Structure 1
């Protein structure tokens, strides 16, 4: 097939006339009915064939040109040619645009994920960064996906954008599994398609709000990560057991843990060293006098580092499990929900007066 050579200096209008528009002379019907002025109506794009099937007069053709903002000068044949091709290709352009917009919207809904139309499918109730309830998020802001473990998670697109695109974090903050490789692409497509539909999807977090949230969120994510490690040992925990502790309760938790470690559980030095090698003394750098003057976030971070060491430093998994048991035991002493969830552990470590 020979390629058509097109001059680069052709204007779009010239190109249409030369290579796209139809020569209507062969298709004009010889016997055409005229239209009375009282019966005349502007021809719509889907009825473009009427131009060559009905005998419109020059005045009527010029009215159509004015309606569609086309050039009104020229003889009848030129007016018919101009209107016919404009209406015909407008008709097919509209069909293409309609189909493409339908395709875009189907892609938009598909990329929104399995929980887009039913947020009850999401296993997390709130957004990890903005703390909004997933069920209350505007539909335009909602993004969901199914994790490799089969659970569906919901997010505000704004939060994910800041996590993945700006902070280069590629792990789910709820379970630390890697996000799918195409997640950022899907988010970009959603935002792009949303702009086409004028959905005005927000991807910018107020910096002042982000500064306030960042510390709190880091602690929450770290707590989640640590408690998931504990859950892998066969327990069912809740991060609120730790996060809801007041400053006074955090000190009580630490005292309970130290007492369990040093006296109450009657742990041998050999076991201590196997849980926390090589010294067996995880509390050497704890100073209550200094901690009293620190903010609660600092104390929480300090406690989380301690907890993480006790459940990960063990010589083998059995000693890590033992460390987790002492942590949970101390939590049951200071949190009623933990005590109710783990009554056997509470009974094991409770001091009877």
Structure 2
């Protein structure tokens, strides 16, 4: 006997009975994981280390920053028989010293080793909200662990409002509890995976930056999740205070990436490799050495240990109509700065960039710069 005796057009679609004769409704359902779909919408795909938005993300040139990379990868993927690493790692350093390049390179190396669980790269000067942080981590983890993905999907199906709740609840429901359940059922992760967080200081609210650290540190102390967490950030006072608090300090490996002339050999190698790539991309044959050794040393000296300077020079020269003329202008500006301060060469270079802006656009650019670097007084 039919369920709909008055209908000749009843169909069964994914276990949902539909009477197609009662109206023009177009109702459909799929077997897709609705919870995971909702999680994806609540996440930030651009924050992943391999997102297309990071096509031009800074990376360490081969042969540069080798010890830092070796130490971090060794911490995240220790050799068999080695002592268990501390669950948290914090690399701190001023803006421009190359933290993001190291973070990106380490993420790629750990991915090759099968030890990268997830990564969140905060965008520079965008001031992203923290509400997407744990959903993004959870979604990336779900792509690596099918059993976890199924549990996560069920959790969100039962209560999708989890995605809009406070970070503590998000972490417990989306990450801690599912992995604990997998562990108790014998389906846990065999070895600890690394989660990389770069640019935490770019998160919109300073209070949220500290909360993220404390939430993760509490989980690490109790051992409820099988992860190692690597943070890269500026040493902002509130971040420094959080990492150096008694509860967090004892489970954290801290490394300072200094502004130092010790970085000069790496900056020189970075510049030489970058200029070679420019010639290769532009298909420019050179009958003589370019840049000259004098040019390279001028740039290294002007960099004052800051990789961001070298990266900006390479980008400026690479995008110029004539790379050789652009480099000549940069070297002229930085070798004879009018400012006698420590970073006079950098100031001269950035002044050169500003001078290239068309007059009709200058006021708009200055306004934009002011808005990007203005620090609100109520961020907590």
TM-score range, shorter chain: under 0.3
Which protein has the larger Cα radius of gyration, Structure 1 or Structure 2?
1
Normalising by structure 2, we get a TM-score of: 0.21
Looking at secondary structure, tell me which structure has more strand per residue. 2
Normalising by structure 1, we get a TM-score of: 0.22
Q: Which has the higher contact order (CA 8 A, sep 6+)?
A: 2
Looking at secondary structure, tell me which structure has more helix per residue. 1
